Amino acid sequence: MTALGKALKENRAAMAAEIAFVFLLAFAVVFVGWRVVGSDLFARQAVVWVANLLMLGTVWIGLTVRGQTWEHFGLRVRFAGLRPLGRTVLQSIIVLAVALAAFVAGAVVMANVMPAPQNADMSGYDYLQGNLPMLLLALAGVYIVSSFGEEVIYRGFLINRLAEIGRRGKAAWGIAVGISAVVFGLAHFSWGIVGVVQSVFMGLALGIAYLVTKRNLAVLILAHGYIDTLLLVQMYAAAP
């Protein structure tokens, strides 16, 4: 193992620096990219996808340097049989229900906090309204860089690396889930304050589910895919 790999596995400062780099890189790409593409909604979404892909690439480099694989985050690509597959699908449906309930709970909390009722700002998806080809393109994009990418980044990478900074103690896992939920919420800043809070609640539910399923990342990826499908189809059907 290289000196860098050893540092990333043992040195807390190096671990924290890696986490900071991954997210600062994404922030820089979105910050610059949105100014380049202007107000084009699809182009802005594409910039977010590019940022997520760069984050995934950086996370993969970190794994490789450490001599680890995606299985370190709970992403197992081997086919273990129909029964485990069925269990994974069933768990993903349960996680979907819990995550949606958490999202709604966030809205209820904000409705009691805000002076006037507000909803998450989903105007960034207006380009989907009544546009079937764009819907299919968006679904393909989100399955790769949102459903898969966000679960790898916010649950697999962030929770594990934060827990490792805390030497994987019980409290460290709990704190890691909480921080991951907050970061996940802030990443949805374009949805407005209500959307951010709802995303924090959802991120908390997904993080807890990640631990309850013994870090089976496939369960979270499937559940996230269902959520993204419901969201995008709803935006498509909202044609004026």
- pTM for the complete prediction? 0.93
Residue 84: its pLDDT value, please? 82
**Cα dihedral 164, 61, 147, 105 in deg (nearest 10):** 30
Separation of alpha carbons 59 and 53, rounded Å:
10
Residue 38's region, left for phi above 0, alpha for psi from -120 to 50, else beta, is left
* Backbone angles phi and psi of 67, in degrees to 5: 80, 25
**CA distances, 153 to each of 22, 60, 181 (Å):** 9, 10, 12
The model's pLDDT over 55-79, given as tens digits with 9 standing for 90+, comes to 999 999 999 999 999 999 999 877 7
Count of alpha carbons within 13 angstroms of residue 85, beta-carbon side: 6
**CA distances, 149 to each of 50, 59, 121, 133 (Å):** 11, 10, 22, 23
Sole residue written with tokens 């993903």: 92
SS3 68: coil
Separation of alpha carbons 188 and 106, rounded Å:
14
Predicted confidence (pLDDT) at residue 34 exceeds the cutoff of 60: yes
Predicted confidence (pLDDT) at residue 101 exceeds the cutoff of 70: yes
196 confidence band (pLDDT: 50, 70, 90): very high
Residue 239: its pLDDT value, please? 57
Residue 95: its pLDDT value, please? 97
Residue 89: its pLDDT value, please? 94
Residue-wise DSSP of 173-229: HHHHHHHHHHHHHHTTGGGHHHHHHHHHHHHHHHHHHHHHTTS-HHHHHHHHHHHHH
Sole residue written with tokens 């009691």: 112
Predicted confidence (pLDDT) at residue 169 exceeds the cutoff of 60: yes
Output the average pLDDT for the chain: 92
